[in-house]
Amino acid sequence: MKKRTLVFGDIHGGLRALQQLFERAEITINDKLIFLGDYVDGWSESAEVIQFLIETSEEQDCIFIRGNHDAWCMDYLATDVAERKWLFHGGFLTFEAYHALEKNKKRDHLNFFEKMKDYHVDAQNRLFIHAGFSSMHGPSHETYSSNYSWDRTLWETAVSMDKNLKMNSELFPKRLLLFHEIYIGHTHTLNYGITTPMNKANVWNIDTGAAFTGKISCLDIETKEFWQSDSVQSLYPNEKGRN
């Protein structure tokens, strides 16, 4: 069986949707999995999502990018101090879950968070990052590391471009030209009235609003075929997520 590389958008504590997506994409241990971050905050199974990902990584090739929500959760696990902003932006159920978790399990999860990458560049010069970067010289030259998980200007640049602009044009944004393709999450596609992964210029946005009324998505980076869960909200009917 051919080995696929599948890239996953934001998950936000939706374990049921993630497991459903694994089934629909018929994922096997031959597949390489790249996760773009925001595994926690929103739905009630954030700790279970992290445990599922830890166990998955023990069986197959996985790369985990750190999202802004993951950074908040990691800070809490490291300090036992819950930032108010984190709790307000979807972290309350995550806090409750980890507050009740035994110490050795919390330590295992903290270790997992700490090993996550800010970004990944593969052998074909494809960038995988949660949000973006602002440096014209690329993410390795970024002044503020928080941009990896917070920056929206990269995606906004791609969205605002003339769709007829070719990559060999002098007007094509230099930041985008640094990579063959760029894969991001963070800014969900529901903002644009779209429920599936979006492609603008050479940027692919895989965040399809799982924290809200949308779904978790994964995409084959070679064929661009994609799979989706049901609406995560429908799988947690008694919860609000981040709505």
pLDDT for 1 equals 61
Angstrom distance (rounded) from CA 16 to CA 19: 5
pLDDT for 22 equals 98
Q: Are 9 and 239 in contact (CB under 8 A)?
A: no
Q: Are 134 and 149 in contact (CB under 8 A)?
A: no
- Give the chain's radius of gyration (CA, Å): 17
User: Within a 10 A sphere around the Cβ of 58, how many other Cβ atoms?
Assistant: 8
Structural domains in the chain, CATH included, are: 5-235 (3.60.21.10)
Per-residue pLDDT in tens (0 to 9) along the chain, 243 residues: 678 999 999 999 999 999 999 999 999 999 999 999 999 999 999 999 999 999 999 999 999 999 999 999 999 999 999 999 999 999 999 999 999 899 999 999 999 999 999 999 999 999 999 999 999 999 999 999 999 999 999 999 999 998 888 888 888 999 999 999 999 999 999 999 999 999 999 999 999 999 999 999 999 999 999 999 999 999 999 999 999
Angstrom distance (rounded) from CA 37 to CA 39: 6
pLDDT for 163 equals 85
Angstrom distance (rounded) from CA 8 to CA 202: 17
DSSP state of 3: P
